[in-house]
Every structure is written in structure tokens, then in C-alpha cells.
Amino acid sequence: MTNSMQNKPNYSNRIKMRLKKGDTVQVISGKEKGKTGEVLKTMPYENRVLVKGINLKTRHVKPNQEGESGSIVTEESSLHASNVMIYSKANKTTSRIGYSIDKEGNKKRRLKKTDELID
């Protein structure tokens, strides 16, 4: 197997993610444990999420043109989806996500702990 093949995600193994872009989550394990933030991006093939202000990494950028100076950029790195839980700002608690069907037959996400509807 070549080196370029190892970096590509296996598109046959897409994981069903219950988290969506814009959800507020809390980190439940790792060095950032206890911090909350908003999901910026979900990566269902890697089962990872990008959370605003969490897992920050610094990267040194070389100057592209002559006369331009290099810089140090701080950016978010992804977390495994199992290390975050959805967070309710109203009840200040984390919970797992369940589904309920309303009277019109629409599937809605809800918090299992408090029965609060998410969308």
C-alpha cells in the first residue's frame, strides 16, 4: 500500500454521527476535559469533530513571497466524537442524544437526560 493511500479515509465506513454543525458540546475526556464549544465541522468518515476554541495547535507558516514575513498561526484541531457530549446551556448538563417523532411524523433530536428538544 502506498503512502498516499494510507492518508485517505475509507469511504465505505461512514459512521452515523448524532452531532451536527452548530451544536454546543462539552469535552468529556482528554487534556481539554470540561471545556465547552460549538461544533464547526463534522467528519463522519473519520468519526471526528472540530470544536471552536478547543484543542488548539500552533503552526509555523513560511513566507510565500519575498518581503513577506512568516507567522505563527493558532488553529483548532479535530477531536474524536466519543470524547465530546452534547451540552444543554439551559440546564447546564451533558446528555446523550435520542430521537422522538412528533405528531406530524417528523424525527426530532432530543436530550435523553432532560427530554429537551434540540431541533
Cα-Cα-Cα-Cα dihedral sign, residues 83, 47, 96, 55:
positive
State mean pLDDT over 102-116: 93
**Is residue 44 a part of any domain in this protein?**
yes
pTM assigned to the model: 0.80
For residues 34-54, average pLDDT? 95
What pLDDT, on the 0 to 100 scale, is given for residue 2? 54
In a domain, 39, yes or no: yes
Q: Which is higher by pLDDT, 6 or 53?
A: 53
CATH no. for residue 49?
Answer: 2.30.30.30
- 66 band by pLDDT with thresholds 50, 70 and 90: confident
| Residue 62 belongs to some domain of the structure | yes
Query: For residue 6, what pLDDT is reported?
Result: 58
- Identify the domain containing residue 32 by its residue range: 13-111
Q: Cα separation of 85 and 87, whole Å?
A: 6
**Please, which pLDDT band fits residue 8 given cuts at 50, 70 and 90?**
low
Domain annotation covers residue 60: yes
| Mean pLDDT computed over 28-41 | 95
- Amino acid at site 71: S
Mean pLDDT for 97-101 is: 94
Give Cβ neighbours of residue 117 (< 8 Å, ≥ 6 apart): 100, 108, 109, 110
Domain count, the chain: 1
At residue 4, does pLDDT exceed 70?
no
